[in-house]
Amino acid sequence: MKQLLLGCLFVLLLGAASCGSGSVSSPPPPPPPPTDPDQRADLLLSQMTLDEKLQFVHGNLTLQNGVGPRNAAGWVVGVQRLGIPDLLYADGSTGVGDTVGPATALPSSLASAASWDLDEAYKYGQVIGKELSDYGLNVNFGGNVNLTAREPRDGRTFETKGEDPTLAGKITAAHLKAIQDQYVIAGVKHFAMNDQETARTQANAVIDERSARESDLLAFEIALKDSNAQSVMCAYDLMNGTFSCGNSHLLNDILKGDFAFPGFVLSDAFATPSSVPSALAGLDQEQTGDYMFDGIWSSESLRTAIQNGDMPSSRLDNMVHRILRAMYVVGVFDHPASVQPIDAVGDAAVAEEAEEQGAVLLKNTGAQLPLKASSIKSIAVIGSHADVGVLSGGGSAQVFPVGGAALTLPPACPPYTPPPGGLSCLNATQIFDPSSPLVAIQAKAPAASVVFNDGTDPATAAALAASSDVAIVFVSQWESEGMDLVDLTFANDQDSLVNAVAASNPHTVVVLENGGPQLMPWLASVSAVLEAWYPGQKGADAIANILFGSVNPSGKLPISFPASVADLPRPTIPIPNPPDSTAPFDVDYTIEGFNVGYKWFDIIGVKPLFPFGFGLSYTTFSISNLQLTPDAPVTGGFQVSFNLQNTGGVAGAEVAQVYLGFPAGAGEPPKRLVGWKKVPLQAGAQQQVTIAIDANDSSHPLSIWSTTSNGWIVPNGDYTVYVGNSSASSDLATAGTFHVGS
């Protein structure tokens, strides 16, 4: 008998039709489980009850630790009986944020953009994704790609990737792709036009369709298409009169329609303006739960709407389908996050490299830098708590660094007081990452006397500088989510400090730690300026490596530095009227339209303090033999080739930038960035460089948005191609022109 059973089992395994004495036909083998994410999502969806579906589109408040299964900024409860895991969210534009746990503080996202290097940006994203996963979390609230450069005083500029939609979109895409490669769902935010923090829940961005498509929305489009990121966070603000999270034109028409985005839309925390209307407008999941707006998007309100016929159940199914599908696409089911120690050492090395590649040398008169340790006997290190650490940005992107904060200070809030219920920066803290410039500089110049002065008294700082061979002044500006800067002047009269030091020592080097553009009234009187942004966990080592020449700076500004706030499209930041009103108020973005940053300065014919794309090196480069090939056979666009030579005495890297001038009458600014390449070259070496511009690229490099055809069109006429190493006309050469049309 035992033998017969074993025999049957063997035969069954082989798939034979019968076994035993009688002839019994066995059922056909079950179809293999689907591998397609849409089919897998549908299979699960078909087994979910209404309650389970409602639970899956509803966020729970976990901002307070101890509420959810882990410290996290968001929590959606999974469905255990079907093997659907919880979704656990954490912020992370500059490293894993929130109070998840100590994480590697990367330099600002803006510093990552300043590398102009997609491989470098990928490594940056990898750190975020891997550490998030190591904390057992599976969704990242990062990817801030707002063009806050419209408002360079915006307190979140450090989280963004600058003013140009193509550069910002591509850098963001590299971050997001890397995060998803760690099986963590990545996303972009804040969709859309969340370009000022002041009264952000009331600000109504007024902008025409073409301008939006060719600026902020284009950055989102590129970031999503190039990365396949699966989530989009809608914003607090209104766009043309409708709250972003209930804006059907934004979410249904543009995002899910024109961009063909297959993932899910989640709200910014508490940004859900309504229940059924928002769901119908394209919102798929509420973050964070019904804490503030109790009941707006509660399970009950959606259930009632479905029962009453106010919302078709197919809409709820689609919401859940999109979330499940995203989980399959990214690998959340197949590669669940598991808690393990983060690789703090390896990730710190990435943080250092990101800063070394992103710091921008703005001035270097008389080859002041690099410093030669052998010939310097004394160095004054002044200001910005450079004895203990480097500054970081505040708000939800705040990283609590490995090793703990070197110093915490109360927030420096601007004078504008939001109306009751509005967000203020008061919850934030100024955190200095544990990376001491004083220690790093001393390590580079072990034989020199390196002395610190805190900079609070310009006179004593100047006296120390006068008795030192070199003075290095650290100047800093804190910024945070929930606030905008009043102006672009460094706080606490640090300009007087720089003036005093520069007046007493002709070898004054200024190192800037700030979120975005700043004014530098003392620029003419100092020898060198290094823009270090918020430098991150290993910022001091990176800065010292650059100051002493172990690393040759190669970063380029991803954002223009204006010479005056009077040159901005809005010299003062719009606020509610009257200031204590909680009603929406207009922020007029039709002033500059799509001409953000360098495009604006080109249009108004005003020179910025430092142009977009600018950055010096310890060597020099030449670009020669420019050759333009229109109608490039492969790309349908064009390609430009040239000889790039390192004409100086040390190895370095140059970012060759390609800008396109559109036909007169196309209504475009004088030029648009369409491509670039960062090329490392040994001293004296040269290389033939080709940059191909694909007409079908996600950045629509040859196209404008046509409101007539509701699509991208290539206008007829003459195009001019420029190549150089910044957006300033003086730094660009004409590669040639080509004609489109008859």
Question: What whole-number distance in Å separates Cα of residue 326 and Cα of residue 41?
Answer: 9
CB-side exposure of 535: number of CA atoms within 13 Å?
Answer: 34
52 forms beta bridges with none
Task: Output 428 or 732, the one with its CB closest to ligand BGC.
Answer: 428
| Minimum CB–partner distance for residue 422 and ligand BGC (Å) | 12
Indicate if the alpha-carbon torsion angle 318, 323, 329, 335 is positive or negative.
negative
Provide the token pair at 481. Answer: 């989510």
| Minimum CB–partner distance for residue 141 and ligand BGC (Å) | 4
Task: Output 266 or 470, the one with its CB closest to ligand BGC.
Answer: 266
| Minimum CB–partner distance for residue 108 and ligand BGC (Å) | 15
Task: Output 143 or 553, the one with its CB closest to ligand BGC.
Answer: 143
| Minimum CB–partner distance for residue 292 and ligand BGC (Å) | 11
Whether residue 513 contacts residue 477, with contact meaning beta carbons closer than 8 Å, is answered with yes
Task: Output 396 or 699, the one with its CB closest to ligand BGC.
Answer: 396
DSSP state, residue 523 = G
Task: Output 129 or 539, the one with its CB closest to ligand BGC.
Answer: 129
Task: Give the CA distances from residue 266 to residues 188, 231, 289, 480, 627, in Å, rounded to whole numbers and listed in that order.
Answer: 10, 7, 11, 23, 47
Helix, strand, coil percentages for the chain (3-state, nearest 5): 30, 20, 50
| Minimum CB–partner distance for residue 139 and ligand BGC (Å) | 11
Contact pattern from residue 79 through residue 118 relative to ligand BGC, giving x for each residue in contact according to CB under 6 A and a dash for the rest:
------------x---------------------------
Whether residue 472 contacts residue 376, with contact meaning beta carbons closer than 8 Å, is answered with no
Task: Output 480 or 726, the one with its CB closest to ligand BGC.
Answer: 480
| Minimum CB–partner distance for residue 19 and ligand BGC (Å) | 60
Of residues 417-436, those binding ligand BGC (CB under 6 A): none
Question: What whole-number distance in Å separates Cα of residue 234 and Cα of residue 250?
Answer: 9
| Minimum CB–partner distance for residue 705 and ligand BGC (Å) | 27
| Minimum CB–partner distance for residue 83 and ligand BGC (Å) | 27
Residue with tokens 């940004």: 271
| Minimum CB–partner distance for residue 515 and ligand BGC (Å) | 15
Contact pattern from residue 120 through residue 149 relative to ligand BGC, giving x for each residue in contact according to CB under 6 A and a dash for the rest:
---------------------x--------
Q: Which of 41, 269, 283, 473 binds ligand BGC (CB under 6 A)?
A: 269
- Give the pairing of strands 652-661 and 672-681: antiparallel
| Minimum CB–partner distance for residue 189 and ligand BGC (Å) | 5
Task: Output 141 or 614, the one with its CB closest to ligand BGC.
Answer: 141
Task: Output 191 or 522, the one with its CB closest to ligand BGC.
Answer: 191
Task: Give the CA distances from residue 150 to residues 220, 394, 397, 408, 592, in Å, rounded to whole numbers and listed in that order.
Answer: 15, 20, 20, 30, 8
| Minimum CB–partner distance for residue 93 and ligand BGC (Å) | 8
Task: Give the CA distances from residue 57 to residues 46, 165, 265, in Å, rounded to whole numbers and listed in that order.
Answer: 16, 31, 10
Task: Output 288 or 560, the one with its CB closest to ligand BGC.
Answer: 288
Q: Is residue 396 a contact point for ligand BGC (CB under 6 A)?
A: yes
Task: Output 479 or 654, the one with its CB closest to ligand BGC.
Answer: 479
| Minimum CB–partner distance for residue 393 and ligand BGC (Å) | 12
Of residues 649-678, those binding ligand BGC (CB under 6 A): none
3-state secondary structure of 413: coil
**What DSSP string describes 479-521?**
-BTT-B-SSSSPSTTHHHHHHHHHHH-S-EEEEEEESS----T
- For residue 374, give every residue at least 6 positions away whose Cβ sits within 8 Å of its Cβ, in sequence order, or none: 447
Provide the token pair at 323. Answer: 């979330």
Other CB atoms within 10 Å distance of the CB of residue 683: 12
DSSP state, residue 708 = T
243 forms beta bridges with 238
507 cis-preceded (ω within 30 degrees of 0): no
Whether residue 174 contacts residue 228, with contact meaning beta carbons closer than 8 Å, is answered with no
Task: Output 293 or 712, the one with its CB closest to ligand BGC.
Answer: 293
Task: Output 91 or 541, the one with its CB closest to ligand BGC.
Answer: 91
Radius of gyration of the chain from its Cα atoms, rounded to whole angstroms? 28
Of residues 66-85, those binding ligand BGC (CB under 6 A): 73
Task: Output 189 or 256, the one with its CB closest to ligand BGC.
Answer: 189
Q: Is residue 61 a contact point for ligand BGC (CB under 6 A)?
A: no
Task: Output 30 or 421, the one with its CB closest to ligand BGC.
Answer: 421
Task: Output 141 or 261, the one with its CB closest to ligand BGC.
Answer: 141
CB-side exposure of 25: number of CA atoms within 13 Å?
Answer: 2
| Minimum CB–partner distance for residue 479 and ligand BGC (Å) | 14
Residues in contact with ligand BGC, counted by CB under 6 A, come to a total of 7
17 cis-preceded (ω within 30 degrees of 0): no
Q: Is residue 189 a contact point for ligand BGC (CB under 6 A)?
A: yes
In degrees, rounded to 5, the angle at the alpha carbon of residue 372 between the alpha carbons of residues 370 and 376 is 130
Task: Output 223 or 269, the one with its CB closest to ligand BGC.
Answer: 269
Indicate if the alpha-carbon torsion angle 494, 495, 498, 503 is positive or negative.
negative
Q: Is residue 175 a contact point for ligand BGC (CB under 6 A)?
A: no
**Can you point out the beta strands (E) in 578-708?**
585-588, 621-629, 638-646, 652-661, 672-681, 686-693, 704-706
| Minimum CB–partner distance for residue 427 and ligand BGC (Å) | 10
| Minimum CB–partner distance for residue 558 and ligand BGC (Å) | 20
Provide the token pair at 68. Answer: 């959810």
Whether residue 543 contacts residue 124, with contact meaning beta carbons closer than 8 Å, is answered with no
Of residues 205-234, those binding ligand BGC (CB under 6 A): none
- For residue 88, give every residue at least 6 positions away whose Cβ sits within 8 Å of its Cβ, in sequence order, or none: 62, 68, 69, 70, 72, 74, 75, 136, 137, 138, 139, 337
Contact pattern from residue 16 through residue 55 relative to ligand BGC, giving x for each residue in contact according to CB under 6 A and a dash for the rest:
----------------------------------------
Question: What whole-number distance in Å separates Cα of residue 106 and Cα of residue 118?
Answer: 16
Contact pattern from residue 146 through residue 165 relative to ligand BGC, giving x for each residue in contact according to CB under 6 A and a dash for the rest:
--------------------
Task: Give the CA distances from residue 286 to residues 164, 190, 278, in Å, rounded to whole numbers and listed in that order.
Answer: 30, 14, 10
| Minimum CB–partner distance for residue 73 and ligand BGC (Å) | 4
| Minimum CB–partner distance for residue 161 and ligand BGC (Å) | 15
Q: Is residue 268 a contact point for ligand BGC (CB under 6 A)?
A: yes
| Minimum CB–partner distance for residue 482 and ligand BGC (Å) | 8
- For residue 13, give every residue at least 6 positions away whose Cβ sits within 8 Å of its Cβ, in sequence order, or none: none
Task: Output 191 or 659, the one with its CB closest to ligand BGC.
Answer: 191
Task: Output 269 or 732, the one with its CB closest to ligand BGC.
Answer: 269
| Contact residues: ligand BGC, CB under 6 A | 73, 91, 141, 189, 268-269, 396
